[in-house]
Amino acid sequence: MPIITSPQDFNVDDLYIDLRPVLDRPLYLKCEGFNFAGSVKLKAAAAMVAAAERDGTLNPDSIIIESSSGNLGIALSIIAASKGYRFVCVTDPRCNPASVRVMRALGAEVRVISHQDANGGFLESRIRYVRGLCESGGGYVWLNQYGNGNNWMAHYGGTAPAIDKQFPDLDVLFVGAGTTGTLMGCARYFRERGRPVTIVAIDAVGSVTFGGIPERRMVPGLGTSTRPELVDESFIDDVVHVPETDTIRTVHALAARGFLFGGSTGTVVSGASRWLADRYPAGEEPVAVAIAPDLGERYLDSIYEESWLRENFAGLLSELSLPGADILGV
Ligand SMILES: Cc1ncc(COP(=O)(O)O)c(C=O)c1O
């Protein structure tokens, strides 16, 4: 029975879903959303704060500042509240409104940057704003998840060994790429041990992380409009780019089985399933694990909301079974 005093001390690290009933082939989905931050980003946030405390960058008067599309911001809001730091999250209009509300409820200040950068994204504008505040003095400490080695080390020391323990015969690992912290930590772990695990990065179509052409993306979480500093392709065996339409189809297929996951999980499962189908004929079954970074409730206003889908992905509506609301006049 876990008994905790700090919210960041609880994390479920050994829950897997066998997706065979959904995909018709075995794929084990490692669930990273069962902690108080609701996502894998709790690990990176805890590791970056702990390292900044250890090396003296953070002191009790510091204000933590970070650019986040939501989940790292929520994780840092929790840790800052628990440890008594002020926290400013710099985000953009694509951040789920629910995530902004969660951060504010936890006492964080949220600044929404709506100026688009040259790639049509917001990341450069968000980072310019963060740098500006740091230069202004005032005790701001930028953890910089895009370039902070403690981000990938959290997964090198935590996520990857947890998978290794449960799947000693692992053949393929699918990892979504945002900052690439999860991806690089897991890839380095298996490579350094000389393990023959194929590491497949899953990215969104329109992301520039692996050199793609920047395009409009509506689902927050995976993908970037500026290449993250942490990425090192020499550790990665293959990359799959998933269109957002497939992400949406996949989250709805999972929800139809009772599993409500977030957009990045839909992207990872969709990419993994396509990659497996292309490489392995039916009947050949590699031991394959995919990492599910979060859960679905923060997406109720977007990928699960009919009006949002109509506005952004109208062509998909006819194939998704979306029961309308029943309003009873009783
Ligand atoms: C929901 C979600 N999934 C996946 C990721 C990507 O994880 P990483 O930053 O470790 O690449 C993020 C990161 O921002 C995220 O918020």
Nearest CA to ligand 1 atom 6: 178
Q: For ligand 1, is residue 33 a contact (CB within 6 Å)?
A: no
pTM (two decimals)? 0.95
Mean of all residue pLDDT scores within the chain: 93
Mean pLDDT (whole number) for 290-303:
94
Q: For ligand 1, is residue 69 a contact (CB within 6 Å)?
A: yes
Mean pLDDT (whole number) for 48-67:
96
Q: Is the pLDDT of residue 329 over 80?
A: no
Q: Is the pLDDT of residue 221 over 70?
A: no
Contact of 65 with 130, CB cutoff 8 Å: yes
178 C-alpha to ligand 1 centroid (Å): 5
Q: What are phi and psi of 296, to 5 degrees?
A: -95, -15
Mean pLDDT (whole number) for 204-228:
86
Element (H, E) at 17: strand 16-18
Q: Domain locations in the chain?
A: 7-34+159-315, 41-142
Q: Is 284 left (phi over 0), alpha (psi -120 to 50) or beta?
A: beta
The full DSSP string for 224-258 is: -SS--TT--GGG-SEEEEE-HHHHHHHHHHHHTTT
Q: What are phi and psi of 33, to 5 degrees?
A: -95, 0
**For residue 307, what pLDDT band results from cuts at 50, 70 and 90?**
very high
Nearest CA to ligand 1 atom 2: 221
Q: Which atom number of ligand 1 is nearest to the Cα of residue 293?
A: 3
Q: State which of 41, 202, 242 you would mutate to test the pocket of ligand 1, scoring each by most atoms of that ligand within 8 A of its C-beta.
A: 41
Fold match, 7-34+159-315 / 41-142: yes
Q: Which atom number of ligand 1 is nearest to the Cα of residue 177?
A: 11
Q: For ligand 1, is residue 182 a contact (CB within 6 Å)?
A: yes
pLDDT above 90 covers a percentage of the chain that reads 82
User: How do beta strands 172-176 and 16-18 pair?
Assistant: unpaired
Give the domain 41-142 fold: Rossmann fold (3.40.50)
176 C-alpha to ligand 1 centroid (Å): 7
> Within 13 A of 144's CA, how many CA atoms are on the CB side?
18
pLDDT for res 117: 81
pLDDT for res 322: 75
Return d(Cα 30, Cα 159) in angstroms, integer. 9
The full DSSP string for 39-71 is: BTHHHHHHHHHHHHHHTTS--TT-EEEEE-SSH
Closest CA to 88 of 8, 142, 144: 142
Mean pLDDT (whole number) for 2-7:
95
Mean pLDDT (whole number) for 64-86:
96
Q: Which atom number of ligand 1 is nearest to the Cα of residue 175?
A: 11
Q: State which of 31, 32, 35, 40 you would mutate to test the pocket of ligand 1, scoring each by most atoms of that ligand within 8 A of its C-beta.
A: 40
Q: Is the pLDDT of residue 197 over 60?
A: yes
Residue 144 CB partners (closer than 8 Å, separation 6+)? 66
Q: Which atom number of ligand 1 is nearest to the Cα of residue 265?
A: 3
Q: For ligand 1, is residue 181 a contact (CB within 6 Å)?
A: yes
User: How do beta strands 16-18 and 28-31 pair?
Assistant: antiparallel
Q: Is the pLDDT of residue 325 over 60?
A: no
pLDDT single digits (tens) 12-57: 999 999 999 999 989 999 999 999 999 999 999 999 999 999 999 9
Contact of 58 with 321, CB cutoff 8 Å: no
Element (H, E) at 16: strand 16-18
328 C-alpha to ligand 1 centroid (Å): 40
CATH 3.30.450.20 fits 7-34+159-315, yes or no: no
Could you give the strand order of the β-sheet that contains 16-18, starting from the edge strand earlier in sequence? 16-18, 28-31, 288-292, 172-176, 198-204, 238-242
pLDDT single digits (tens) 242-293: 999 999 999 999 999 999 999 999 999 999 999 999 999 888 899 999 999 9
Query: Hey, what are 35's tokens?
Result: 């902690």
Q: Which atom number of ligand 1 is nearest to the Cα of residue 180?
A: 11
Residue 282 CB partners (closer than 8 Å, separation 6+)? 24, 25
Q: Is the pLDDT of residue 330 over 60?
A: no
